[in-house]
Amino acid sequence: MEETQEKKITHNEDDKLMIDHSYDGIQELDNRPPPWIMWLFYITVIWSALYGGYYHWFWQEEVSPQESEYQAELLAATEKQEKLKASNPEKYSFDETKITLFSEAADLDAGKALYAAKGCVACHGNLGEGNAVGPNLTDEAWLNGNTPADVFKVIKHGNPAKGMMAYKDQMTNDEIQKLTSWILVSLKGSNPPNAKAPQGN
């Protein structure tokens, strides 16, 4: 049976069958490995040597390549921010101690949308009524002060020890101002059902 199988095996005229290579009827050809794949191999080996040389033997900086990249990334971001501030000082200089409340409906609606989008509902309830985690926002009692600047501050910088996280990495000043406005103008005094007992003063 094996012989008939071997007879059936066809191969190109140029290929040389290796006479003594037959395993369960499988034969092998005496072809050279394709040169491109050998070159690919040599190139990757050379590239690897250069890579190791560059990042290890010839690396001059005090910090590692990885740390150096990180520092450069931070520096680039800071420079970009400074440029931005310089380009429009009015817009980007912001006095957190003097917060005015918006009263336009569009701004208040934007504040309301932020309340839902940023996950405030998880701790302060859908209607600001408070729950097991966060206090009621609709009553007159405030744990961290009730002026616009106080509310702005606690949203922006948080009070982590009490579980209020800082939103400074999640919202711009303008957004926080809108949210503050909505809370103090619309939400406060809304008297929702199941409200949590007042906390603070």
Partner 1 sequence: MEQQTFYYDNKIVKLFAYATILWGVVGLLVGLIAALQLAFPIFNFNLSYVTFGRIRPIHTNAIIFAFVGNAIFTGAYYSIQRLLKARMFNDFLSKFNFWGWQFIIVSAAVTFALGYTTGKEYAELEWPIDLMVALVWVAFGVNMIGTIIKRREQHIYVAIWFYLASFLAVAILHVVNSIEIPVHFMKSYIVYAGVQDAVVQWWYGHNAVAFFLTTPYLGLMYYFLPKAANRPVYSYRLSIVHFWALIFIYMWAGPHHLLYQALPDWAQSLGVTFSVMLIAPSWGGMVNGLMTLRGAWDKVRDSAILKFMVVAVTGYGMSTFEGPLLSLKNVNALSHFTDWTIAHVHIGGLAWNGFLAFGMLYWLIPKLFRTKLYSDKQANIHFWLGTLGILFYAVPLYWAAFTQTLMWKEFTAEGILAYPNFMETVTQLIPMYITRVLGGTLYFTGAILMVYNLIKTIQSGSIEENEEAHAPALAETSKLRLAGETIHRWLERKPVQFTIWIAIAVIVGGAVEIIPMMMIKSNVPTIESVKPYTPLELEGRDIYVREGCYTCHSQMVRPFRSETERYGEYSKVGEFVYDHPYQWGSRRMGPDLARSGVVTGKMYKTDSWHFNHMLDPRKMVKNSMMPAYPWLIKDDLSTDYTAKKISVMQTLGVPYPEGYAEKAVDDLKKQAETIAAGLKANGIDVSPSKEIIALIAYIQRLGVDITKQAGEVKAETEEVVIDFTPLTDAESVTAGEAVYVKNCVACHGAAGNIDGTGLVGPALFDTIYIHGNTPNDVFKVTSEGVPAKGMQAWKHLLPKKELDQVVSFVLNYKK
Structure token digits, residue 166: 């800082």
Q: Least Å distance between CB 147 and partner 1?
A: 17
Q: Which of residues 176-195 bind partner 1 (CB under 8 A)?
A: none
33 binds partner 1 (CB under 8 A): yes
Q: 119 vs 189, which CB is nearer to partner 1? A: 119
Interaction residues for partner 1, span 66-85 (CB under 8 A): 66-67, 69-70, 73-74, 77, 80-81, 84
Judged by DSSP in three states, 187 sits in: helix
Binding status of residue 24 toward partner 1 by CB under 8 A: yes
Task: State both tokens at 191.
Answer: 């008297």
Backbone angles phi, psi at 73, to 5 degrees: -65, -45
Q: Which is nearer to partner 1, 103 or 172 (CB)?
A: 172
Q: Should residue 88 be labelled a site residue for partner 1 when binding is judged by CB under 8 A? A: no
Contacts of 19 (CB under 8 A, 6+ apart): none
What lies within 8 Å, CB to CB, of 117 at 6+ separation is none
CB of 29 to partner 1, least distance (A): 5
The Cα 156–Cα 121 span in angstroms is 17
Residue keyed to tokens 């290579």: 21
Question: What is the nearest approach in angstroms of partner 1 to the Cβ of residue 91?
Answer: 10
Tokens matching residue 6: 């071997």
Element (H, E) at 22: strand 17-23
Interface pick for partner 1 out of 104, 109, 133, 189 (rule CB under 8 A): 133
Q: Applying CB under 8 A, does 18 fall inside the site for partner 1?
A: yes
C-alpha of 14 from chain center:
58
Q: Among 44-52, 95-103, 104-112, 183-191, which window interacts with partner 1 (CB under 8 A)?
A: 44-52
Name the residue nearer to partner 1 (CB basis): 81 or 100. Answer: 81
